[in-house]
Structure 1
Amino acid sequence: MRAQTVGTLEYTHPSFVDYFKGSVRLIHALTVVLPGFLLLAVLPLEPAQVGTFATFLLLFSILSILIFQTVGIYSEEIFSPLLRFRTTFLAWAAAFSVLIFMRQSLDISMFSDLHPEHLLFWFVASTLLFGAERLGMLALFRRLMDRGLFLQNAVILGGTDNGIRVAEYLKSNRDIRTGVIGFIDDRLERLPKNLADLPLLGNTQELERLIREEKVTQVLVALPWFADNRIGQLINELRKLPVNVLLVPDMVAFRHANKRITDVGGLPALIASDLPLRGWSPLFKRLEDIVLSSLALIVAAPVMLILAVAIKLDSPGPVLFRQKRYGYNNRLIEVFKFRSMYHAKADANANRQTTRDDDRITRVGRFIRKTSLDELPQLLNVFLGTMSMVGPRPHATATKAAGVLFEEAVAEYSSRHRVKPGITGWAQINGYRGETDTLEKIEKRIEFDLEYIERWSVWFDLNILFKTIPALLFNKDVY
């Protein structure tokens, strides 16, 4: 690695990238087989078998690296600040599956000494090593960036508002791949000496000199896109030089997009919004709901029977309370609950929110509301498919916060209906359940709901379900 000083940053030779990726491949190859070599010390192998096993480990390491390469472990994202644990785990699981297949199908005597506990040790040990190596790599990246060392020294071409936004974005999302050393603009006399805490390095003639001296390897063109002729002229000139030229999008678009790019008939486009559950996700979530609701209904059946009898004896009226609420895609669904109010005082549209010491609530109703046992019949909603175990809580049509309808109080309110409503949710375990007597409470509830939609996974659902009971026990705002 050789470096030349450029302001406060340094320039890394491009071949460093290839050397680094090669080093990572070597480390991964050693990580794949290290537990296998440790097993040599405990397996009762004959001397001839030791040599055969060592040869097998070498071949297995090469095969694993090829699988890693196919999965994309060594793509440019290796330099990103992402943990990438999931991608690495899946790649290693695929490689290890090949080992299991070879053990089961090949008639090699040494494989008979590899017992399941040995294979488990091998898989877990390598998995932990991969995780430790990634954390070490990220720590190395942070240290290099603190020293001002980046893979590419970049300049922003255009001291425009968009150029300043690009600089601020890259500063707050620091990445070892790009270090911005300053701005280039031909309007030197009209611009300040510093923009976004970065120096104005000069005009396009100065840029050519910096590129020729190998002090700049990347140019981020941030001119207004309506300046088509000027952009075309600059790109034609820069194509004659050994430099990477990137057209950066209008950063205003990024405020309305989730930073992912798709292809529409060959046209790259920023995704502003898409379906929250894509691919196999809806199927996995539906299977999760069917399995969990079925098990819950079986376990809760005795309790539900006792509660039904208690409600019937406590006050006249039906055991179940049916209420129209907003569900998926803003459609009205019928939600089941155990009746907790006197039948004559029922409020089907929730025009009046329940408050402390509400005279409409029965004796049994006060208990089941406090413990949330009144929600148990919603397991039937989940089983029938109108609700989910986890999701934004469904609200009645006339529910208000501080006298304002929810959909009028929060502009993003309807966005929560992009998924099925749930019995419990991310907002509820974070303390936002019960009465919404202020606009802040409904705003925070919607904020958590939308965060859940963006972060959804089966593991996230299970985490929320696990934390629901403690959240119910310690919440004091339900009556």
Structure 2
Amino acid sequence: MSPDSHAIRANQARASKPLPSLHTSVRPGSIAFARPTALRNARLLTRLAHGLIAFLPCLLVLQVLHIHDAPLIHRYLAQSVLFGLLCVLVFQCLGMYGEDMFSNRWCIRKIFFAWCPAFGLLLIMHALFHYSAHIPVALFLCWFAGSYAGFIALRLGTLEVFRRLTHKGHFLQRSVILGCTENGIRLAHYLRQHSDLRAVVVGFIDDREPSRLPPEASQLLPRLGGMADLERLVREQHIDQVLVALPWYAEARNQHYAKMLRRLPVRVQLAPDMRVFRYAGSRITPIAGVPMFTMSELPLTGWSPLLKRAEDLFLGTLALLLLMPLMGLIALAIKLDSSGPVLFRQKRHGFNHQLIEVYKFRSMHHHLHDADATKQTGRNDARVTRVGRFIRKTSLDELPQLFNVLRGSMSLVGPRPHATATKAADMLFGDAVEEYASRHRVKPGMTGFAQVHGLRGETDTLEKIERRVEYDLAYIEHWSLWLDLYILVRTIPAVLLAREAY
């Protein structure tokens, strides 16, 4: 796309011609909703709704308690209105009206963690003003649950309203991508996958003829014309935002178009090099005032390590107490079935690639055991004992790793630790998969995201270890206590239904 005067004059000559794709993609009826104040109004209405939802249960309290004393009613109402305002202020401080507000996420957890401290203020207010003595605990619980349900209903209702408006062609903002370049196509793909309630991209703007554009572009978005057509669309209030996707090294062209677009009443955004977003979780972090793309982040930060350790200690201790009789029976069966120790110890890679000693119930004949796992266990492996075949199939041989969890070398949930010499297709795992070492950024686990998706047992092909690593890295990137609990709940059916463990 060239900014020379010949191309500009050619576009001006075409400006009066109708654009075939324009009338189908940009309808005048949608313009009333596409105003710059729409975003501010949406935030304002949401704040008012949140304040009302936090306040309204007060009326229910007055009805249930049969309060008729006028001064007391006025005090209740005044304090509840104040609480509604404070609730909105807490939501504001916790980012409830930020970027996520216009995303397609349900935000259920975010609402919960914002509502808890806000409701804590209510309890403090009642305690300070000797107000709580008149309200039973059950009513407070109903207030908390009722308002929380109201916040969720408001969020889901808002998403549904915007979905219907979007379906009818009404949007908070309309955007075009300036530059049908490789970066522009990447940007269009990314915006399609990460949709936003605030904006919809209606097409490309490019001065080149359609025959010179990449064939893939026409399958994504229509070409709405060149710069002259863009100016006309902006003047007629059909476009609210321009996303400049020209290569960053084309500094002269970027400056030229920036100068042109500054004359128009439109928001202009310079898109980054979309290849950066190949790195999972890319986000911008200011360092000394300079915006930096975060390519990799510590997997557990803030309170996360403490919460995960508390989870391991509590659930690990509970599981050990409940399973101790079963572990005793397994130990007895192993001792009666074959000679040798009950437990098998093996060196494996743990957190930060450090070697840890992992405990298992012995499942092989002692004189045939393979401490380094140079040969993986296969179907009908002669080294496996009768009891060993059963406990390996049901993963009961892993139960002694609860001691690893309590000692802190392992976690209940995490990437499964592998022996140092384990191979796939005659290649060490670290050599077979480039990102294999990234699994060691967290503690290994007794069960993991890969295992509950059926990836257990022998890893005799590169594809199997690659898929495991993909699930392990996804777990690390998206860790939460909820994900851990989900994996723990799914572990039992995953073990019972598995056919790959030998």
TM-score (norm 2): 0.88
Q: Deviations over 1:351-398 (max 9, x none)?
A: 222223222122332232233222122112112221111111111122
Tell me the percent identity: 53
Deviation at 1:6, TM superposition (A): 6.2
Deviation at 1:402, TM superposition (A): 4.2
- What is the match of residue 14 of structure 1? 36
Q: Which runs of 4+ in 1 moved over 4 A?
A: none
- What is the match of residue 34 of structure 1? 56
The answer to whether the 8 Å contact 1:326/1:332 transfers is yes
Structure 1 residues 188 and 47: CA distance shift in structure 2, 3 A: same
Identify the range of structure 1 (224-233 vs 464-473) with the bigger mean alpha-carbon deviation.
464-473
- What is the match of residue 263 of structure 1? 286
Deviation at 1:311, TM superposition (A): 2.7
- What is the match of residue 344 of structure 2? 321
Structure 1 residues 171 and 429: CA distance shift in structure 2, 3 A: closer
Residue 407, structure 1, aligned to residue 430, structure 2: yes
Deviation at 1:305, TM superposition (A): 3.6
Structure 1 residues 377 and 210: CA distance shift in structure 2, 3 A: same
The answer to whether the 8 Å contact 1:159/1:191 transfers is no
Residue 79, structure 1, aligned to residue 96, structure 2: no
The answer to whether the 8 Å contact 2:67/2:73 transfers is yes
How far apart, CA to CA, are the structure 1 residues paired with 2:97 and 2:426?
A: 56
Question: Which residues of structure 2 form unaligned runs of 5+?
Answer: 1-21
Residue identity opposite 2:63 in structure 1: A
Deviation at 1:128, TM superposition (A): 0.9
Structure 1 residues 368 and 196: CA distance shift in structure 2, 3 A: closer
Deviation at 1:445, TM superposition (A): 2.2
Residue identity opposite 1:269 in structure 2: M
Q: 2:149 aligns with which of 83, 104, 128?
A: 128
- What is the match of residue 282 of structure 1? 305
Identify the range of structure 1 (181-190 vs 39-48) with the bigger mean alpha-carbon deviation.
181-190
Q: Deviations over 1:419-443 (max 9, x none)?
A: 1111111222222112223443333
Q: 1:88 aligns with which of 87, 102, 111?
A: 111
- What is the match of residue 197 of structure 2? 176
Secondary structure, counterpart of 2:222 in structure 1: strand
- What is the match of residue 149 of structure 1? 170
Q: 1:164 aligns with which of 159, 167, 185?
A: 185
The answer to whether the 8 Å contact 2:414/2:445 transfers is yes
- After superposition, where does 1:352-371 map in structure 2 within 5 Å? 352-371=375-394
Q: 1:97 aligns with which of 120, 124, 131?
A: 120
Q: 2:45 aligns with which of 23, 29, 36?
A: 23
Secondary structure, counterpart of 2:117 in structure 1: helix
Secondary structure, counterpart of 1:396 in structure 2: coil
Residue identity opposite 2:449 in structure 1: W
Secondary structure, counterpart of 1:386 in structure 2: coil
Residue 44, structure 1, aligned to residue 66, structure 2: yes
- What is the match of residue 379 of structure 1? 402
- What is the match of residue 6 of structure 2? none
Secondary structure, counterpart of 1:349 in structure 2: coil
- What is the match of residue 466 of structure 1? 489
Identify the range of structure 1 (441-450 vs 338-347) with the bigger mean alpha-carbon deviation.
441-450
How far apart, CA to CA, are the structure 1 residues paired with 2:143 and 2:24?
A: 48
The answer to whether the 8 Å contact 1:164/1:195 transfers is no
Structure 1 residues 197 and 372: CA distance shift in structure 2, 3 A: closer
How far apart, CA to CA, are the structure 1 residues paired with 2:87 and 2:204?
A: 44
Residue identity opposite 2:166 in structure 1: M
Secondary structure, counterpart of 1:201 in structure 2: coil
How far apart, CA to CA, are the structure 2 residues paired with 1:157 and 1:369?
A: 59
TM-score (norm 1): 0.92
How far apart, CA to CA, are the structure 2 residues paired with 1:161 and 1:364?
A: 59
Q: 2:208 aligns with which of 150, 171, 187?
A: 187
Deviation at 1:7, TM superposition (A): 4.7
Secondary structure, counterpart of 1:241 in structure 2: coil
Structure 1 residues 197 and 448: CA distance shift in structure 2, 3 A: closer
The answer to whether the 8 Å contact 2:299/2:477 transfers is yes
Q: Deviations over 1:301-337 (max 9, x none)?
A: 3433443343334322222211111222222222111
Deviation at 1:226, TM superposition (A): 0.6
Q: Deviations over 1:158-190 (max 9, x none)?
A: 121211222232233332212223222333487
Q: 2:140 aligns with which of 119, 122, 135?
A: 119
Identify the range of structure 1 (66-75 vs 181-190) with the bigger mean alpha-carbon deviation.
181-190
Identify the range of structure 1 (457-466 vs 301-310) with the bigger mean alpha-carbon deviation.
301-310
Q: Which has the higher contact order (CA 8 A, sep 6+)?
A: 2
Deviation at 1:447, TM superposition (A): 2.3
Structure 1 residues 288 and 210: CA distance shift in structure 2, 3 A: same
- What is the match of residue 251 of structure 2? 228
Matched length: 473
How far apart, CA to CA, are the structure 2 residues paired with 1:52 and 1:224?
A: 62
Q: 2:414 aligns with which of 361, 379, 391?
A: 391
Identify the range of structure 1 (406-415 vs 64-73) with the bigger mean alpha-carbon deviation.
406-415
The answer to whether the 8 Å contact 1:338/1:375 transfers is yes
- What is the match of residue 334 of structure 2? 311
Structure 1 residues 401 and 171: CA distance shift in structure 2, 3 A: same
- After superposition, where does 1:245-260 map in structure 2 within 5 Å? 245-260=268-283
Identify the range of structure 1 (264-273 vs 310-319) with the bigger mean alpha-carbon deviation.
310-319
Structure 1 residues 348 and 6: CA distance shift in structure 2, 3 A: same
